[in-house]
Every structure is written in structure tokens, then in C-alpha cells.
Amino acid sequence: MVNRVLVTGLGVVSPLGTGVEPFWANLTAGVSGAGPITRFDATAFSTRFAAEVKDFDPLRYIDKKEARHMDRFTQFALVAANMALADAGLDLEKTDRDRVGVILGSGIGGIETLEEQHKVLLNKGPGRISPFFIPMMIANMGAGQIAIAHRLRGCNVTTTSACASSNNAVGDACRILQRGQADVMITGGSEAPITPMAVAGFCAMKALSTRNDQPQQASRPFDAGRDGFVIGEGAGILILETEAHALARGARIYAEVTGYGTSCDAYHITASDPEGGGAALAMSLALLDAGLSPADIDYINAHGTSTPLGDRSETTAIKHVFGTAAARLAVSSTKSMTGHLLGAAGGVESVACVLAIDRGVIPPTINYEQPDPECDLDYVPNCARVAPVRAALNNSFGFGGHNATLVFKKYER
């Protein structure tokens, strides 16, 4: 028997706010989280803005000594996980900790720690490197610290598949629960890539928007004037439980995870397949896994990064999978507001999908002003839409051609 998997808790640290309610209020109001970079001096950079998490003080949530030994991405992960656990009302003292696991996605991990310690090495020598350097930097430490904080002894894994990392994490966590290898999984993703090296690298690739005089208007997925993505940071965490476990404890149920599809473009190290073949395969596999037809999907949270090729390719893929049904679909990119959180994008966007189902509101694609003839779907332009969402599909596509699609559905006993 395959267990059904339910979403019972949500936690968010994002450029639109820390906590589910501030995040959702700003997301549905069409607020942009982009602004000038404050985390370092970006004067010499071709892109000088990002979607930063604002007013985040880890000491409000984490013991000072422990926080000092965590990279920023780990702090985000732990804070969002704690919020999700509280939201789920899960009493871990009454839960078998051997059957609670963590699968977290992160594309880059502790790059801020890496850069800081490299400066120490160059300026002060190897003897001054922090003994916490390695455990702060490695990408698995977000998942590790969540487990340590709550003494969770179940499966603990980190997925790294670039911008598909979080969707792969949620999908893999779902599989663990379906097979009966755990009762509860904490999953999603975290990323803190607004650092000199990371931003310089994306600038060198010419992947970022250069609208330095209009940062809040820079992320414009599917708009004809799009010129690149806006880098963001944060974490999105979901608590997943088997149906039996959730019902036995009387949990609040947001939605059900019903489908997971993953594929590879096998095309290019950074560019997506212009024909959208790999993306279409991931969506088709997710629908097949969910036992749903294209007509059953009401909303797609698109990967929609605001790059010329990527948005066009995803539109082509959606048309290939959904055929004539594509015209009636609501398709929006919340990256227009949050920026692109890289490996954490799927976690935050999964939270958005679940809330769209739970609350019957579809977030908009802001900054949509000039239609692109090659991107001609209903992108929910500029204003949120009140509409029932029975099932939502979440796309995440990453460098290396990694594709991961999730299907969330309104839960019915």
C-alpha cells in the first residue's frame, strides 16, 4: 500500500517577510522584495541589487553561541523549520523521533562562510582558519542542524540539483513517506547566495537583470522587456506527514502532495532546452504520478525566472503538456516578487502553491507590462486572483538541465 502524503505545517523566511502571514500578505499584494544590495559594497558590480531577507536577526530565534556557528543559509533553514513545526502543532515529545526525517535542498550551501574564511587564509594564514569553517560551509548542515536541534534520528539528506534542489527534496521526502519509511518529514530548501563571489559569478554569466535604477521592476517574468533574474535568499519549509499519522493526531491539513516528476534536459550546462523537452517530461511524469489529467490542474507556479530563453522555453513546455487546456490555466511566477532563491526557490514556491489551494487566491506575476508574442499564456498579470484551486503544479528547473515538478492537491478523505 502506498501512503498518502499530507502537508500539515509551513514556515518561510523570505524577502517578503519572515513567517507565513507576512509572506502571503505581501505575495498576494504584489509587493516586490528587491532593492539595493546592503550585505556588501556592490558599487563595482554590473548588478547592484537583490532580493534580500530584511531585518533578519538570528538571535531572535537561535541561541547566540549556536547562531555564531551557523552560516546564514543554515540560520534561515532552522528558523523556517521551527516555524513550520510550530504551525503543524507537532508535539515531538509524543512522536517517534526515529521516524521523523529531514530532506533539504540547497544549491550553494555556506558560500558566505567560504568567502569569509578564504579572506582569513589570505590575510592571516592557515592557523587562523575557524575550526567551525567546514561544518558551517557544507551544504548538508542545514538539514543536519534541524535534526540536531530537535533530536530527529530519521532519514537526513540534502539534495543539490541547482535551482531544482528544493523540489527534488520535497519529492524525495514524499517518496520516503509513501513507502512507509517515516511518519513525518521536514523538507524544502534554504539558500543565502547574496555574497560578492556569487553575485559576481552570475554577473559574469550575464544572467542577472541590470535595471539598477529600477530594482523593484527588474524581475518581470514572461514580459517582453525581461533582461535576467534577480537573485534572492531565504528558506521555505513544509511539514509532510503520512495520512494515518496526521489524522491520528488531528492535524490541520493544508493540502496533499500527489505527484512528483523529475528529468534532465541533457542539453547544456546553463541554457534550458528551447523546445522545453525536459521540462515537459517532468510535468508529464508528475501528472502521471498524481493520477491527474491536464484538465485537473488549475494553477501552475512557474519556474519563470525572468530570463529571455528560460521563460520562453517553459511556456513551450506547458503548451506541449497541456495542449488546448494551456489557454485556460492560471500561470504565475512568484519570482517576480521574491527574486530567484536558487536552491531554495522550490521550497518557497511550494509554500505558495499550498496556500493558493488552502486560501483560494492565486498570486500574481508583477511587472507584466509588455506581452511577449512567444509567451502567450495567462500569467495572472500584476494582481492576485481569487479563484478556487483544486490542484496546483510547481515547476523548478536548474543549471545542468535538472527539472523537478510537484503536484499539490486539495485534500479529500
- Residue 103, beta-bridge partner list: 157, 187
What is the identity of the amino acid at 358? Answer: D
Task: Decide: helix, strand or coil at residue 410.
Answer: coil
Dist. CA 209–CA 305, nearest whole Å:
10
Tell me which residues are annotated as active site: 163
The number of angstroms, rounded, from the C-alpha of 124 to the middle of its chain's C-alpha atoms is 37
DSSP-derived secondary structure for 290-302: HT--GGG--EEE-
Give alpha helix (H) positions in 55-195.
Answer: 64-68, 72-88, 111-124, 133-137, 141-150, 165-178
- Residue pair 306/215 in contact (Cβ under 8 Å)? The answer is no
Written as nine digits, the cell of 402 is: 535538472
Helix (H) or strand (E) holding 58: none
Dist. CA 119–CA 4, nearest whole Å:
49
Beta strands in 211-324 (DSSP E): 234-242, 255-264, 299-301
Rg (CA), the chain: 20
